[in-house]
Structure 1
Amino acid sequence: MITIDGRHLALADIVAVADGASVGLAAEAIARMSASQESAVATASRRPVYGRSTGVGANKTVTLADVEGADTHGLKLLRSHAVDAGRTLDRRTVRAMMAVRLSQLAAGGSGISPVIAEALAGMINADVVPEIREFGGIGTADLPALAGTALTMLGERQPLGAGAAPSLLEAWPTADALPFISSSALTIAQAVLAHHALGRLLENAMTVAGLSFIAMDGNPEALSPAVAAAADSAAVTTAADTLRTLVEGIGTPARIQDPYCLRTLPQIFGSQLEEHDALGRLLERLVVAGNENPLVVGVPADGTNDVAHHGLFQMTNLARRMDVLNLAVGAACATHLRRIDLLCDPAYTGLHPFLAEDGSGQSGVMMLEYVAAAAVGRIRANAQPASLQTVVLSLGAEEDASFASLAAAQLLSTARALETVTAVELVCAVRALRLQGREPKELRSARLKNLLDAGFSLPAGMEDRDLRGDVEEAVLLVRASYQAGPAGNFDRLR
């Protein structure tokens, strides 16, 4: 069980909840939410509080006390804001969203009733997953996704999958409507899942590049301690040290200077890992951050009840961080494709063109270059910055948006496409090493040896055949872990 305390939640814990782990609210989180609710009620009794005593968006000038049926305004707000469209999101993504929102509520800045948070925890543990669709959020709060979640909790909307809609709550007070939906929990959850997938993938892409380096007798001077020390970034230094450990003892290099796709491996992977780490640090803050609008800042015990109206809900920094990581991955793709191309070149492997069985004109892995190039096209398209987009909505009351939701979707798409690119390189590198008669036992690095062992489980036939199955198996391999063995530099990439 993952304990939600509102102060710290590891990104790996969110992934665990996405994959089915249960949750529990810490006692101090419940107490914090109760105090926050008391403060919000006291503040609303003496001055306007957005969404609690007023309408929202362009309706912020409407005072709810003057409106007939104000006691049902919250339910109307949830129903009106629950509209979304497009592809239905998978259970894993939506469970991650609920875990993020629960953690944010536990931080105690929303003024929401703890009863709502306890119902959300019960929803996660009962595996009742709202049906959420892809279009609705624009990076200023995932209002449709969370409003739809609320309607599912009330039993008004059927959850994902078969079965009747359960009722986890009998009513939804007006005061608790906006505080529940005022969050970018879905966008943050998608970013967490993409960050997790890319962490393992970048680690394995570096290891696959090590296999390619050996298959082409690369020159390890580019990875030497002196070069690592001269790097312009600590991340590049770490990548050089790791790559040097991976390929040490490979024999005599074939060239004085390798092509860039081998010679610049530290920069290629160091830059991606640097941006990946930066995104991770930001996400660790966001999953427990008080980005609620309005933010309850008062303390009931000393009578300093108050709220702060702000714009932190606009995920500008998150959008930019994801854009930069997408750009770093996209920029590296030219070298991924070039290594695949050179593995097909007899001048670099001493083998037949396209790693074919013989020189009779067989195509070998020729078409895998096309598959990888198609995936790279998707990655490069995703690298177009989402954070440059903007929009004016709600009668001009909201005149900008971060589009972090789009950046998160692009990052998830990039992770899926990079799996294909890395899998293609793995198929080609393993095939080249097989044809060269190389064996895993020749390698000093446990990590590299483990990956080559796994790679040798791929079909061994070199004749022209349908390679779709090989790529599918290789995708599963690049999702796995090959960290057994010595520690040292490997720890940095876990």
Structure 2
Amino acid sequence: MMKPVSRLSLTGEHLTLESFEEVVRHYRSVDLSANAKVQMNRCRQMVTDLVAQGRTIYGITTGFGKFSDTVINQQQTAELQRNLLRSHACGVGGPLPEEVVRGMMLLRANALAKGYSGIRPSVVDTLVQMLNHRIHPVVPSQGSLGASGDLAPLAHMSLPLIGEGEVIVNGQRMQARTALDQAGIAPVALEAKEGLALINGTQMMASLLSLAVIRGKNLLLAADTIAAMTVEALGGIPHAFHPLLHQVRGHRGQITTAANLRHLLADSRRVTQPGEKRVQDAYSLRCIPQVHGASKDTWHYACQVTETELNAATDNPLLFVEGDEVISGGNFHGQPLALAADFLAIAMAEIGNISERRTERLVNPQLSGLPPFLTRNGGLHSGYMILQYTAASLVSENKTLCHPASVDSIPSSANQEDHVSMGSIATRKLHQVLDNLTHVLAIEYVCAAQALESGDKKMGKGTSPAYELLRRQLPPLTDDREGHRDIEQATELIQSGKLVQAVMKETTISV
């Protein structure tokens, strides 16, 4: 019997990608730690004192953005915060997926738990209750510039806290007030600084980037596995993966990838020695460690940026009780995430580029020595001819998507906010790159398995379970059939993590 998973207590300091995934995808419950509540209450008292003193503090006793010079009287404080959520909730486009919204809710709660934002614990408790009850705000996917944070998306996320906006519960879209009433959750009445604390942050792009990093790890391991199958199918030369070669260059990802390939191909009798079939392989086989490895190094960089942002205070202004300081700055600026997302998109697209070239080698008889398009009855049958077309189309689309969003900036708020990151755009299109890559790898997986039908030599320690997993779902190609179904079957095995899990039972591979 499985031991129940304990609640995750948010401190603002210790959230990891692993615990992020447990909450976002596996519905682990969350609460605010006692220490976080103490720190939040101390910071909240500082806000109360500032309002009572009548001091001019951005977002507490003033308007927002260009209106930062407009002083608001104490009697209008609650109205100011309520109006902020309403006026900023102007996103467009289809709603973000549930797991992205859950990530936004978790990350915003964790950032506020740090105790620098001046928000009452009771407000964050309401956000946490919604998360635990699986009440997910409807958040349009477009409208954030990625500086001043993800203002529009976070406004949509926050409206249900005051009983406004829309949510989705068990797949049903409804008014937020109805869902709160059904769950027995009372809407909050915002006080000074609290609306701003809820929406001034990077949590949409941070949620998207976190999910992309998690997806990326699985795809990098799947890519090594599928590439190893292609090496076998083409009688490749694993001598190019010798550890001495990679150690003298020294790049971590390259060394790791070469080791993965050696483990995956261990005991294989389908591979060859230099000169046995050819002296050396084409780059798409020989340079797998160099190409996949560089993408792994980029993944590690993106992972580092993401894990830092998981526990970051990203609103403005921030209040420091110990030093009695209120500091207006720009921690909401998404530049670190935007650059990491653009870089990771390029890195993952390159995995697709080299995969498509291996698929071409598998289906092209002049390069493979195998039956044309992997069919025994060419002419009457087209075999897997068009699978390579689809891969080429997706690879080309990814090249367009890899134009960096972070190099763009459009001034806003009457030129007060004159440089923005476009981080939300970078992270959204990163997921499209990953979707396309998953299909490109699925196509290579299908073609490599079909190519391995030729001959009866023993496969490698890691490639054998990968081949067998696909064959349990998909029989070898004998007559022409709808190719998209083959791609869908392979895609599910990759996307679900089943491919990597099957391989990891027999051998060790890592990023």
Q: TM-score, normalised by structure 2?
A: 0.90
Note if contact 2:383-2:477 (Cα within 8 Å) is conserved in structure 1. Answer: no
Note if contact 1:85-1:135 (Cα within 8 Å) is conserved in structure 2. Answer: yes
Query: Are 1:29 and 2:36 counterparts?
Result: yes
**Structure 2 gap ranges (5+):** 1-6, 181-185
CA distance in 2, matches of 1:49, 1:179: 14
Q: CA RMSD in A?
A: 1.8
Q: Which amino acid aligns with 2:211?
A: L
Note if contact 2:302-2:340 (Cα within 8 Å) is conserved in structure 1. Answer: yes
Query: Are 1:422 and 2:441 counterparts?
Result: yes
| Residue number in structure 1 paired with 2:242 | 224
CA-to-aligned-CA distance 1:127-148 (integer Å, 9 cap, x gap): 1110001112111111112212
Distance apart, 1:208 and its partner CA = 0.3
Distance apart, 1:423 and its partner CA = 0.3
Which region of structure 1 is more displaced relative to structure 2, 53-62 or 168-177? 168-177
Secondary structure of 2:452's aligned partner: helix
| Residue number in structure 1 paired with 2:278 | 255
Query: Are 1:280 and 2:280 counterparts?
Result: no
Distance apart, 1:12 and its partner CA = 2.1
1:250-329 residue pairs with structure 2 within 5 A? 250-251=268-269, 252-253=272-273, 254-299=277-322, 304-329=323-348
CA distance in 2, matches of 1:156, 1:333: 43
Distance apart, 1:158 and its partner CA = 2.3
Note if contact 1:329-1:379 (Cα within 8 Å) is conserved in structure 2. Answer: no
**Structure 1 gap ranges (5+):** none
Secondary structure of 2:141's aligned partner: strand
Secondary structure of 2:84's aligned partner: helix
CA-to-aligned-CA distance 1:387-442 (integer Å, 9 cap, x gap): 1000111111010101110110011111111110000000000011123345xxx3
| Residue number in structure 1 paired with 2:105 | 98
Which region of structure 1 is more displaced relative to structure 2, 147-156 or 130-139? 147-156
Structure 1 residues 310 and 487, CA gap change in structure 2 (3 angstroms):
farther
- What number of residue pairs does the alignment pair up? 482
Note if contact 1:95-1:124 (Cα within 8 Å) is conserved in structure 2. Answer: yes
Secondary structure of 1:69's aligned partner: helix
| Residue number in structure 1 paired with 2:90 | 83
1:381-392 residue pairs with structure 2 within 5 A? 381-392=400-411
Secondary structure of 1:456's aligned partner: helix
Q: Which amino acid aligns with 2:207?
A: A
Note if contact 1:94-1:129 (Cα within 8 Å) is conserved in structure 2. Answer: yes
CA distance in 1, matches of 2:214, 2:390: 24
1:66-465 residue pairs with structure 2 within 5 A? 69-140=76-147, 141-160=149-168, 161-166=172-177, 167=180, 168-251=186-269, 252-253=272-273, 254-299=277-322, 304-438=323-457, 442-445=458-461, 447-457=462-472, 458-465=474-481
Distance apart, 1:179 and its partner CA = 1.0
CA-to-aligned-CA distance 1:206-262 (integer Å, 9 cap, x gap): 100000011001111211111111224122111112212222343424321111100
Note if contact 2:224-2:260 (Cα within 8 Å) is conserved in structure 1. Answer: no
Structure 1 residues 179 and 170, CA gap change in structure 2 (3 angstroms):
closer
Note if contact 2:246-2:255 (Cα within 8 Å) is conserved in structure 1. Answer: yes
Distance apart, 1:369 and its partner CA = 0.7
Note if contact 1:228-1:238 (Cα within 8 Å) is conserved in structure 2. Answer: no
Q: Which amino acid aligns with 1:74?
A: Q
Structure 1 residues 483 and 364, CA gap change in structure 2 (3 angstroms):
closer
CA-to-aligned-CA distance 1:172-199 (integer Å, 9 cap, x gap): 1232110111111111001111111111
Q: TM-score, normalised by structure 1?
A: 0.93
Distance apart, 1:320 and its partner CA = 0.8
CA distance in 1, matches of 2:405, 2:61: 34
Distance apart, 1:360 and its partner CA = 4.3
